[in-house]
Chains A and B, each alone.
Chain A
């Protein structure tokens, strides 16, 4: 029967997708040092994580980066989306919008190499701020898309027209109507940008200067000695955080569509 076959296919697909995650989560609670056999339940690896100062520093760096990069991407995304939705169709708008989305399509390795050679040519020191700029660049398509969709639906409802009709200048209408009503989309876009920056490895690997160790880079270096239960525990934490973020983001998206 058709549905039996489909069921089996779906089951197989989801097993393939999620079994590795399940194994990883399970082994993060395993007492054994090796990921081979189940010996018993423990929280010890989570404790070890907390005591690892180097790891803690890399997590802090990653969080700081993600906050700065998502703020930058949110501000730039708002400006870009406003330009694309509010102003009379300007010449090259299609190209502008395609270029904004390019980082989505571009292989990350190309971005990494490109940014590295650009920064070294331009004499920009490789530090926290140059890395933050790079992250903002990768995250920009996400914030722009989210805010743009919201601004388009706002435009449909003539709310800004109504504000200007009642005497508000374009700037006043932006501050009092557009910005508050676009806020859920801005936050939702910024959350996406946050996760993009948080988990970025390739770009960071290329342009992180000396002394800047983000968490993904730290995990990579830990893995050189094999996948330890600490790494499983760390990945499990990241998984939990990511799922939490996704929920918040979906919730905000739904709310921004409802109004």
Chain B
């Protein structure tokens, strides 16, 4: 039993009436792991969390907690606690009683309750707040109380549902670091739901990207960012230029690609392109990986593709300059390049012919989005 993962979902599906919310969700959470469920709103990540907590019962599939199926058990029979999106602090209790709630339900001795609540409040840096009313606290303080209340019972798994969603940006950044530090210190596994990819990148050991009730990709933040498997993931994690492409021929270590049914080039690569549906695939390039070169400049050195383009617009965003480029004659699709280089900040006239250099390794070949 001890080598079973802490939590495992196998083939979990859930519908609300006619709406299919989750289909075939498989995931594992290791002991002490920080796992993030990432996706746009309505993608099923919160429902997954509620199934793990026991508030929803899956229509099919298994929820194994240390190898034991708990899919039919109510929330109070699982040693899994939740930090709710809007904190859900009990307004008629003091801060101390809020944190003590779970311990009182378990009828622990008073001395132990005192000690553990005091310890938990100190951990979230609210040691002096025990006797306050929760209704008089700021959002950040309520968030800390909610966290203290959830960890005081020492669960093996903590679920967090967009816990920083209601905080302003500056406080969010601070709380991200602090949450991560607390998680490391306690060694409790976190399952963290968010729609903010920066937050997911900053905190997680692993990220699971959800889209329309399915898992799009699972991996470390670096894997998901640098090697997205689908166009949805590429676009959701940061931004990406997504172009339609077709694989014409595949030689040993080299693929001939036709982009937007117009521009062709050879792309040497080691791994085979993803599973294809009749050669159709998606090509993605991140804006910051596109090097824009004026005619008088030397090409990028090394393994790259060089394509002619026309500069259609330039937008200055302080440090960063965004350049809109037209690469294709038939397709109206523009490509966005982003650069921190000062030489792009001097205005170039729209319509200037330029070269676009992209390194082979920065060209991502992806599964096309499912049709329909």
Contacts and interface: CB of A to CB of B under 8 A. Distances in A.
Chain A interface main SS type: helix
A161 B92 contact: no
Contact of B76 (A157, A164, A181): A164
B129 interface: no
B84 A162 contact: yes
Contacts of A169: 74, 76
A94 to B, nearest CB: 16
Contacts of A158: 84-86, 88
Q: Which of B53, B76, B80, B102 has the most CB of A within 10 A?
A: B76
A168 interface: yes
Nearest to B82: A165
Contacts of B229: none
Contacts of B55: 161, 165
A166 B74 CA distance: 11
B312 to A, nearest CB: 48
A170 B77 CA distance: 12
A157 B86 CA distance: 7
A181 B89 CA distance: 12
Interface in B79-104: 80-82, 84-86, 88-92, 101-102
A44 B85 CA distance: 64
Q: Size band of the B side of the interface? A: 20 to 34
A156 to B, nearest CB: 9
A85 to B, nearest CB: 15
B18 interface: no
B277 interface: no
B84 A161 contact: yes
B213 interface: no
Given A161-B55, A172-B105, A259-B135, A166 B153 contact: yes
Interface residues of A, number: 19
Contacts of A12: none
A170 B76 CA distance: 9
A239 interface: no
A163 to B, nearest CB: 7
B81 A166 contact: yes
A76 interface: no
B115 to A, nearest CB: 18
B207 to A, nearest CB: 24
A158 B86 CA distance: 8
Contacts of A164: 54, 74-76
A165 B54 CA distance: 8
Contacts of A219: none
B102 to A, nearest CB: 4
A252 to B, nearest CB: 15
A180 B53 CA distance: 25
Task: State the 5 A-B residue pairs at the shortest beta-carbon distance, nearest first.
Answer: A166-B102, A162-B88, A158-B88, A164-B75, A167-B105
Interface of A: 157-159, 161-170, 172, 176-177, 180-181, 259
